[in-house]
């Protein structure tokens, strides 16, 4: 087969223009409208330039379009007082098909318009009128113009004043916030100079606000005596976080927790850090410190010593799945939970990053691996597990229960399961044990799954079947 060759289309321009004219301009009189339109554009150009350079109108202060007919020679002469075209303009604009000099002029006028207002305020529309701003087609020149920087600063200031004015009416501000809350949170991330002001405009649901939104300023006024931090939790939705195990101890002690359930909250809160001198602390990360009495501290130390052996057993079973296992009072009812490092990703952030098509997988592997398992020593399940581990730390049932607790903790803590089918099978086997189901079909189905441990002790408890 011969090699394919590529040829460019050739066009007879005069014939093409004749075809276009006869196709699109069926009425001969239409040419006059087009010429008058060009003259009108020329007047617009000189009017715009005269706004910053009055000398442009010195030669002819009156703007006009004159149409002079000449019956003797069968001609129409159109004269205007607008900006004319140089030889280069005539060649580029009239000698090039589908090119508009007026369009380029308008693009030059708009150059720098995107730079006078931040991206997060892109929903704000308006016109800026300044006598001091030079008309320059160079975007780079406009970007370096000091006047433009002042205009930008004042525009942001005026927008902030307008937002605070809207916030005075709760009903109106709720509508505004519903539409543009993401823009404000983007401002927290991008605008360091106005970050504090924007933070005052943020609104969140909380453990004490019910269906109403609350501001950070209102939160601070309701803080308990001695409370030093602002507590928050991030998640996929309000429903997903309001019953989170991370809130159990905080609720019991009467602390208010903000629900940050917008994806952009993760990025915004990473920049905000604090508000009115109060540090923003995640309920899902390490470093959560609550006020404790001397009796509580003493009891905590005793439980820590009592469950030290179980913590080592759990760490040995889970290996690299967790960074460490500790005794904690973060949870009250749940047996355990998984927290991330203070500078690592939260479960919600991990979910968001996994959804990114062009994510950095190497960074993701590092940031998402820093999990700490915190066990509740006052939970009956953990206490029974401790007793079994002390009796025989190599008990197969202990290892199976640890894996099951870890996977349920992943789910309740907001993480995703890497092997949901394995987890489902493990739950099904637990149900069979609870229902005393022991048939041949179940055994055959179980045999298809790879065992969690290499050893196969036929004399072990029925929990050995839970792999």
* 280 three-class SS: strand
Total residues found in the chain within this entry? 467
CA distance 83 to 136: 16
CA 466/CA 115 separation, integer angstroms = 62
Query: Coil, strand or helix: which one is 69?
Result: strand
> 139: annotated binding-site residue?
yes
Would you call 46 helix, strand, or coil by DSSP?
helix
Burial 64-99 (b: 16+ CB within 10 A, else e): ebeeeeeeeeeeeeeebbbbeeeeeeeeebeeeeee
Going through 24-149 in order, the beta strands assigned E by DSSP cover 65-70, 75-80
Cβ neighbours for 151, distance < 8 A, ≥ 6 positions apart: 116, 128, 130, 133
- Interatomic CA distance for residues 231 and 224, integer angstroms: 12
Round to whole Å and give the CA distance between 224 and 21. 79
Look at the alpha carbons of 71, 72, 76, 82 in this order and tell me if their dihedral is positive or negative: negative
Structure tokens at 382: 């953990």
Instruction: List residues forming the annotated binding site.
Output: 139
Instruction: List residues forming the annotated binding site for ATP.
Output: 139
């Amino acid at each position: 087969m011969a090699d394919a060759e590529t040829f460019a289309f050739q066009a007879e321009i005069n014939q093409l223009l004749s075809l276009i004219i006869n196709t699109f301009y069926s009425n001969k009189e239409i040419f006059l409208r087009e010429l008058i339109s060009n003259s009108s554009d020329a007047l617009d150009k000189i009017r715009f330039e005269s706004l910053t350079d009055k000398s442009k109108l010195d030669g002819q202060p009156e703007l006009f379009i004159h149409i002079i007919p000449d019956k003797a020679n069968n001609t129409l002469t159109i004269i205007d007082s607008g900006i004319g075209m140089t030889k280069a303009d005539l060649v580029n604009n009239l000698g090039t098909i589908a090119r508009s000099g007026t369009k380029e002029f308008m693009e030059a006028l708009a150059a720098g318009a995107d730079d006078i207002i931040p991206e997060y305020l892109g929903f704000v529309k308006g016109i800026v009128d300044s006598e001091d701003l030079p008309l320059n087609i160079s975007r780079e020149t406009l970007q370096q113009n000091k006047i433009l920087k002042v205009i930008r600063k004042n525009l942001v200031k005026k927008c902030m004043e307008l937002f605070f004015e809207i916030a005075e009416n709760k009903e109106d501000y709720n509508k505004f916030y519903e539409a543009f809350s993401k823009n404000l949170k983007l401002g927290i991330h991008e605008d360091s100079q106005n970050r504090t002001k924007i933070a005052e405009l943020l609104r969140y649901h909380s453990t004490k606000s019910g269906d109403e939104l609350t501001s950070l300023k209102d939160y601070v006024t309701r803080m308990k005596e001695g409370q030093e931090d602002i507590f928050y939790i991030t998640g996929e939705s309000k429903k997903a976080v309001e019953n989170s195990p991370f809130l159990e101890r905080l609720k019991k002690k009467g602390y208010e927790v903000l629900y940050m359930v917008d994806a952009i909250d993760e990025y915004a809160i990473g920049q905000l850090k604090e508000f009115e001198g109060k540090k923003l602390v995640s309920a899902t990360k390490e470093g959560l410190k609550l006020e404790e009495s001397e009796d509580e501290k003493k009891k905590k130390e005793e439980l820590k010593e009592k469950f030290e052996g179980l913590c080592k057993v759990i760490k040995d079973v889970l290996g690299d799945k967790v960074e460490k296992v500790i005794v904690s009072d973060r949870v009250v009812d749940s047996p355990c939970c998984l927290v991330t490092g203070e500078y690592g990703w939260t479960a919600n952030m991990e979910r968001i990053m996994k959804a990114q098509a062009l994510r950095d997988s190497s960074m993701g592997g590092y940031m998402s691996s820093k999990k700490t398992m915190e066990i509740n020593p006052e939970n009956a399940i953990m206490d029974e597990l401790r007793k079994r581990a002390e009796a025989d730390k190599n008990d197969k049932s202990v290892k199976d229960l640890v894996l099951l607790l870890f996977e349920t903790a992943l789910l309740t803590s907001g993480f995703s399961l890497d092997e949901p089918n394995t987890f489902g099978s493990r739950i099904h086997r637990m149900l069979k044990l609870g229902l005393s189901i022991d048939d041949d079909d179940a055994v055959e189905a179980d045999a298809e799954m790879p065992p969690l441990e290499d050893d196969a002790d036929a004399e072990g408890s029925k929990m050995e079947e839970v792999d």
